Amino acid sequence: MTNQNRLFPERLAADGSKTDQNRLREAGHDPSGHRARLRQRLLVGNGDALADHEIIEYLLMTAIPRQDVKPLARLLLKRFGSLSGVFNADPRALTGIPGIKETAAAALKIVGVSALRLARSAVREKPVLSSWQALIDYLHIDMAHLNHERVRVLYLDTQNRLIVDDVLSDGTLDESAIYTREIIRKAMDIGAASMILVHNHPSGSPQPSRADIQVTQKIIEAARLLNISVHDHVIIGREGHVSMKAKGLI
């Protein structure tokens, strides 16, 4: 009997349910029942069933068994500022937190990767201009949390569908390089009919600077000579986003 239990530790009752012995074993891993309550709230509740720190806690529970991970979840949220900050944090920064090893870092990182891919798929499925909110959601997931400046160009076809999402540069804080000639050449090479310029402000405020406006006008003028339209220049910040077109700057 002892050997049989070792070979088949998860024995079931005749009706397929877990035996009392297995229930007790699971309860021993969660004496207070806290993990079970979180799981039930997640499964039967809506999108707001869990607080931000509880979402992180639940993910950590899968990677760090037999340990109270609530304090660690709160620490991560405080350290990185938001759910997005945690899920998009550099793995080295995550494993630099005491108690976070590679398995836990991977459990957190996969959420950020999944969210970005889902958002990117939504952008690719429809013409960009008719699914503007999906585009903004995607850009926020990818760029709002960054502490350096990222410049990207979205090249569109004649139906305003995304051809290429090109990250032009990743700079240090408050530095970026926008090369007008390179942007126009890329548009010609791939046969783009139009484009949307995007960059982020690591400072948090998405309000355009004078330099932002000047470089945008320069690109618009160069593109116009080749019958390529610049629909917008979107600036992403932690505090939201700004469309230069909506502000009358284009």
Cα separation of 179 and 120, whole Å?
Answer: 25
- What SS3 class is residue 244? coil
pTM of the full structure: 0.69
Torsions phi, psi of 24, nearest 5? -65, -35
Give pLDDT tens digits for 155-213: 999 999 999 999 988 876 555 567 888 999 999 999 999 999 999 998 878 999 998 99
**Quick one: pLDDT at residue 177?**
63
Q: What angle do CA 19, 23, 27 make, to 5 degrees?
A: 170
**Quick one: pLDDT at residue 144?**
86
> How is domain 128-243 classified at the CATH fold level?
Cytidine Deaminase; domain 2 (3.40.140)
Q: Which of 124, 8, 107, 109 has its CA nearest to residue 64?
A: 107
**Quick one: pLDDT at residue 83?**
84
Residues 6+ apart with CB under 8 A from 57: 38, 69, 70, 72, 73
Least confident stretch, 75-79, 147-151, 176-180: 176-180
Q: Which residue has the higher pLDDT, 31 or 123?
A: 123
Q: Is the pLDDT of residue 247 over 70?
A: yes
Residues 6+ apart with CB under 8 A from 127: 159, 160, 161
Q: Which of 97, 73, 98 has its CA nearest to residue 83?
A: 73
- Listed by start position, the domains of the chain span 20-116, 128-243
Cα separation of 85 and 77, whole Å?
Answer: 8
- Helices assigned H by DSSP within the chain: 2-7, 20-29, 34-44, 52-63, 70-80, 83-87, 91-95, 102-125, 132-143, 180-190, 210-224
Cα separation of 91 and 28, whole Å?
Answer: 32
Cα separation of 236 and 6, whole Å?
Answer: 56
**Quick one: pLDDT at residue 148?**
85
**Quick one: pLDDT at residue 24?**
38
Q: Is the pLDDT of residue 11 over 50?
A: no
**Quick one: pLDDT at residue 161?**
92
Give pLDDT tens digits for 23-42: 434 444 565 677 788 888 88
Q: How many CB atoms lie within 10 A of CB 230?
A: 23
